[in-house]
Structure 1
Amino acid sequence: MKKNIFFLLCVFSIFEIQAQEKKSDLFGVEYSYDKIKNDSARGNIKNVDAFLNFPIFKGEQKTIGGRLHIKSQNISGLDSELDKSLYGTDINLFWQKQIKDRYKIYLFGQVGVYSDFKDISGEDFRYSLGARYTIRHNDKFSTGWGVSYSKQFFGHQLNPFVSVDYQITSKLQLTGLLPIRPKLIYTINENFSWTNEIFGNAASYRLSATEENSRFVRINNWYGMSRLEYTLAKHHQFSVGLGYNFRNNIKLYEDGMGNNWSIFTFDLNKKSKPIQEVNSKGMRFEIGYNFQL
């Protein structure tokens, strides 16, 4: 019984410091659909994301935990060069320390396999490191700053950010990371909430060494999303959202063309040119489920 109580306390504590927002999510799954449409291309990307959070250690001032993340992206409707089924599985470990009552420092590391999963090898791995420092100004307002570094197949990616958690009114909250994932949340009642967010992301996936000569795909996207969330029996959160991709960019590269430096999704230099590239804008649809404690 005591072991079960300790485990539950650890689970509760871990979710206080999620990198994006304050939510007590234990696990969840999301499906999304992106329309690809421009003058010469008609296609889509179907995405499935699933995660599981887990505790490792909980002390008075220190917390250690992690997240297992699995995702898939299926690109179709373009051509044989770009129509791919891509997968990623990674593990994220974090360490947080409370400094006095107002300050926290947060460190994380992530490593995973990102490929078409046809012949996995060491070249399919990529990793990320990051840190964040936050200050609680009062019960309603916290800010912070940080940076993350990712070793991508296309090169090196930096994401400097400012974090914010501002309870503007009893129903309205601004939270998240600026500029890569700010969220404005309006609580309608104890069951319904309305979330509006902007999301920016860059990802890369290694292709088969035997079939594709270890080429890789890079996907950059920026979108806005408006999402309605419904919580059933205090633990089951269902969501449905409609958004718009301001920029959806898919590039195919030869192996060995990974020398670029980028901030967010924007290249600082362009030493490597893609074999193929598709740029589009279009609608995005998503549905999801989270189990919350």
Structure 2
Amino acid sequence: MKATTLQIITIFLTVFTLSVHAQQDSIPKPNSSFKPQIGSFQADYAYSPFTVKGTKMNIQQVNTAVMLPVYNHFENGKLDFFLAGVNYNQLFLSGLGNDFGGTKFYSVSVPLIFQKSLSAKYALMVSLIPTLSSDMKDVSGDDMLYTAAAMLKIRTSAKFSYSIGAVYSRQFFGSLLLPIIGIDWNITDKLSLSGSIPVSEKLKYQLSSKSAFGINTDFGIGGGSYRLSKKMNSDYFQVQQMKSSLFYEYSLAKNFTIQASAGYNFTQRLDLYSKDQKVNWAPFNNLNNRVPLEELKKPGVTFQSGINYRF
């Protein structure tokens, strides 16, 4: 599976992760005052330095995301909800000049997520994510990307659930349609596995009530694709990063955690494409048939820190 394809799945994984959290919270607690926590605020910073022919370069990313529960209803072990939010991303290139059409790129998305529980075991989740992604020098409808997904979530026990579905995305390179499988497994009281196999997996071990560490493998995390201004012929710039990392997280207060990670981008690729470099459907048509105007491939280390609050 191509890295570009995996990037699109990452957009959906953000939605999938939120829905998994909500589904976990739908397990009734002994007391009657149980209240699902499906809202969230996240912010993180990622730094990926590397050297090319003696020149030091780096990719920096700043991400913030907030998800608000517009509607939620929990009864008899069934949770229905509608979430709406805003995700904001900034990507900065340092030491690369203007070979890729600029050094600063931005994206703003508005994820909309709806879940309907068919029973305590089955739930249907659908999502829509319109995204504006460009250098923001002449914003227009040409900067828009659209992703939609539908998933059936199946809880087989209090410790294991999985999801099956499909994701569609209209990108600058064309359209994409993929099946997807998600998993959320509390292996023991301390050890858990979650993600979308084999795209992104997180193995987490709970050291105490406040701290945890683990391994995260992500084949799609990255800045995504950005349309350039008309002065740059409306070409598009694309970042692809595939990494494995060790992470540690600590709960500062109830529902508020901080996280730090260090890892390695075993694939790190920057590409500039002309606007006519497209495929009809991916992954059925080969994305590698596109010919980049500029390209840089360089693996390297990566560091990330972030905060997360749920409500």
What does residue 79 of structure 1 align with? 97
CA distance in 1, matches of 2:269, 2:19: 25
Q: Secondary structure at the match of 2:138?
A: coil
What does residue 6 of structure 1 align with? none
User: What letter corresponds to residue 18 of structure 2 in structure 1?
Assistant: Q
What does residue 114 of structure 1 align with? 133
Deviation at 1:20, TM superposition (A): 6.1
- CA contact under 8 A between 2:97 and 2:103: conserved in structure 1? no
User: What letter corresponds to residue 99 of structure 1 in structure 2?
Assistant: L
What does residue 236 of structure 1 align with? 256
CA distance in 1, matches of 2:272, 2:96: 13
123, 130, 139: which one pairs with 1:104? Answer: 123
CA distance in 2, matches of 1:222, 1:213: 29
What does residue 250 of structure 1 align with? 270
What does residue 61 of structure 2 align with? 47
What does residue 306 of structure 2 align with? 288
Q: Find out whether 1:183 has 2:202 as its counterpart.
A: yes
Q: Secondary structure at the match of 1:123?
A: helix
How does the TM-score come out when normalised to structure 2?
0.82
CA distance in 2, matches of 1:85, 1:191: 37
Q: 1:208 to 1:72 in 2, by over 3 A?
A: same
Deviation at 1:196, TM superposition (A): 1.5
Q: Summarize deviations over 1:167-203 as a string: whole Å, max 9, x none.
A: 1111000111112221111110011011321112262
83, 100, 105: which one pairs with 1:65? Answer: 83
CA distance in 2, matches of 1:159, 1:37: 35
268, 276, 283: which one pairs with 2:286? Answer: 268
Q: 1:267 to 1:278 in 2, by over 3 A?
A: farther
CA distance in 2, matches of 1:69, 1:89: 6
Q: Secondary structure at the match of 1:138?
A: coil
What does residue 3 of structure 2 align with? none
What does residue 150 of structure 2 align with? 131
Query: Could you say which structure has the higher strand fraction?
Result: 1
Identity of aligned residues (%): 28
Deviation at 1:127, TM superposition (A): 0.7
Aligned residues: CA RMSD: 2.3
Q: 1:178 to 1:80 in 2, by over 3 A?
A: same
165, 179, 185: which one pairs with 2:184? Answer: 165
What does residue 5 of structure 1 align with? none
Q: Secondary structure at the match of 1:18?
A: helix
What does residue 27 of structure 1 align with? 41
Q: 1:116 to 1:16 in 2, by over 3 A?
A: closer
Deviation larger for 108-117 or 22-31: 22-31
Deviation at 1:37, TM superposition (A): 3.9
CA distance in 1, matches of 2:20, 2:135: 28
Q: 1:49 to 1:269 in 2, by over 3 A?
A: closer
Q: Which runs of 5+ in 1 are unaligned?
A: 1-14
User: What letter corresponds to residue 267 of structure 2 in structure 1?
Assistant: R
Matched positions, count: 276
What does residue 217 of structure 2 align with? 198
CA distance in 2, matches of 1:289, 1:270: 36
Q: 1:220 to 1:64 in 2, by over 3 A?
A: same
User: What letter corresponds to residue 244 of structure 1 in structure 2?
Assistant: Y
